[in-house]
Chain A
């Protein structure tokens, strides 16, 4: 999606593997903030990105046990705009020697911070991400962000979201991408529409054990059947929630991370692959499998691990169906078998690959890949609660968009 500015990914090389560790995580109160935004109790103020990120940062700092003066790097990631990195550093009460804007969604910011640490720019980086689409009235799909004269740079046009060209036929929105993929998948593999319920249901079951998850009520097949469609064949329960919030990750030089409050979580590998041409074909016919697979292989090779070592997965469930694309794309199950795989319990504790154990974007929080990393950290610390994967050592997160894929391999580090 060209609406999101990409960061320049550092290469997926062994020299960068396990050079930095996540030592602190902080998230805002997704469920409480979502409820407050709906009920608007007396005195309630809409959250600003600034207020949210300060909350996430203070929690991450407390979680790490570090002091404010230990923070010598700050990066900030805003999907729909926010203050400058220096302003953010001041807001956090820090005086970093390294402060930079760092992309937005979890498609590169963590590798960038790790590379900065490896290059000696900072020892301890507070990475903050904040998104307030509810507060800012962000609309997904339609003509909201259309740009005039899109193919003519001389006319001052910027890069529009590629799917705006389909507006005259009414085809729009991220949801439509996943829906179109699923319509073709149903035909290609002979699966029924309702089989997708198992994915929405599994992720909801995980969310139900998480106090901070936005959607925690039981999801029954009857409710699913009765729910409204957004873009057929996808229903509202197949599409991610939209909520405001922030995530902070504190990332520190690995050789300084072993004697802190928490077990360090090492950033062991990353990857990136993007389709080069024929987006509709790659998206609908291949469901990005070549890209998702290649990027995951890069990340595993960088980490010196194989897919068999991975015991937990956090995918980007913008849609229930897109989670299937990633489970199949990474290679946990064969193409066309993802729904049966989920129905068989393979995506929860006791199955092959417990997936989105905090409720993902579908039921947990729409933090655009950042809350997935926070959950992977909890899992690797063995602090994930009811859906903890026993003895977990290696987790993979993956942010697949409609045209590219960004996996991370995280490993449980050692106390020194």
Chain B
């Protein structure tokens, strides 16, 4: 059985992000005017407000800059507790909230190198591929 996850945010721009994940690619929106990356998904550039965003493929490599472990059940038992999250700075300098794969926050150190991997999960809308990070 595929692991359940809390629901993705729906919407036509969000759908593009998850479609790329389904193909094993981590792509974020980069503005074709000011070259700023906007994340989370938005209809216009977070920096200059223009709508001309291009889905650029990230290298998938990054470093750990923060972490959390959730002991509080915020999702009605959907996720087994406790579970860990990471804050990764991608090589493109964008910060990205994710989960560790194959290690826990007990193993992390500042600047630890990680790379993206995709795991098969599902939410109420169906199966999808979730970008998580493993040691690199």
A115 within 8 A of B: no
Q: Are A173 and B11 in contact (CB under 8 A)?
A: no
Q: Does A313 contact B (CB under 8 A)?
A: no
What's the count of A-B pairs with C-beta under 8 Å?
137
Picked from B41, B71, B110, B132, the residue with its CB within 8 Å of the CB of A231 is B71
Interface size on B, residues (CB 8 A): 45
Closest partner residue, chain A, to B76 (CB atom): A142
> What 0/1 readout, one digit per residue, does chain B (56-84) give for beta carbons within 8 Å of chain A?
00000000011111111011100100110
Please tell me if A228 contacts chain B, counting CB pairs below 8 Å: yes
Do B12 and A151 touch (CB < 8 A)? yes
**Quick one: given A166-B40, A173-B74, A184-B87, are A231 and B68 in contact (CB under 8 Å)?**
yes
B8 touches A171 (CB 8 A): no
User: Cβ of A36 < 8 Å from any Cβ of B?
Assistant: no
On chain A, the residues within 8 Å of B26 by CB distance are none
Q: Does B113 contact A (CB under 8 A)?
A: no
CB atoms of B130 and A143 under 8 A apart? no
Task: Report whether A143 and B7 are in contact in the complex, using a CB–CB cutoff of 8 Å.
Answer: yes
Given contacts A151-B14, A168-B121, A232-B71, contact A180 B66 (CB under 8 A): yes
A230 touches B71 (CB 8 A): yes
Tell me if B47 is interfacial: C-beta within 8 Å of chain A: yes
Q: In the complex, what residue of chain B is closest to A151 when comparing beta carbons?
A: B11
- Please encode chain A, from 265 to 286, with 1 for each CB lying within 8 Å of some chain B CB and 0 for all others: 0000000000011101100110
> Is the contact region of chain A dominated by helix, strand, or loop, or is it mixed?
mixed
CB pair A170 B5 closer than 8 Å: yes
Q: Which residues of A contact B7 (CB under 8 A)?
A: 143, 146, 167-168
Say which size band chain A's interface belongs to. 35 or more
Complex Cα spacing A237 to B64, Å: 27
Binary contact readout B39-52 vs A (1 if CB under 8 angstroms, 0 otherwise): 11111001100000
Check B83 against A170 for contact (C-beta < 8 Å).
Answer: yes
- Near B by CB (< 8 A), chain A positions 250-307 give 276-278, 280-281, 284-285
Whether B127 is near chain A, meaning CB under 8 Å from some CB there, is: no
Contact yes or no, B71 A167, CB < 8 A? no
Is A6 part of the contact surface with B, judged by Cβ < 8 Å? no
Which 9 interchain pairs have the tightest Cβ spacing?
A165-B40, A151-B11, A232-B69, A167-B6, A280-B95, A142-B74, A184-B66, A187-B110, A141-B74
Sample 14 A-B pairs with CB under 8 A, ordered by A number.
A150-B9, A151-B12, A151-B13, A152-B12, A165-B41, A167-B8, A169-B99, A171-B68, A172-B75, A175-B72, A183-B68, A187-B66, A232-B82, A280-B87
With A170-B74, A232-B82 already in contact, 18 other A-B pairs whose C-beta atoms are closer than 8 Å:
A143-B7, A149-B11, A150-B11, A151-B9, A151-B43, A152-B13, A167-B6, A167-B7, A171-B70, A176-B68, A179-B68, A180-B66, A183-B66, A187-B65, A229-B72, A232-B70, A277-B36, A280-B95
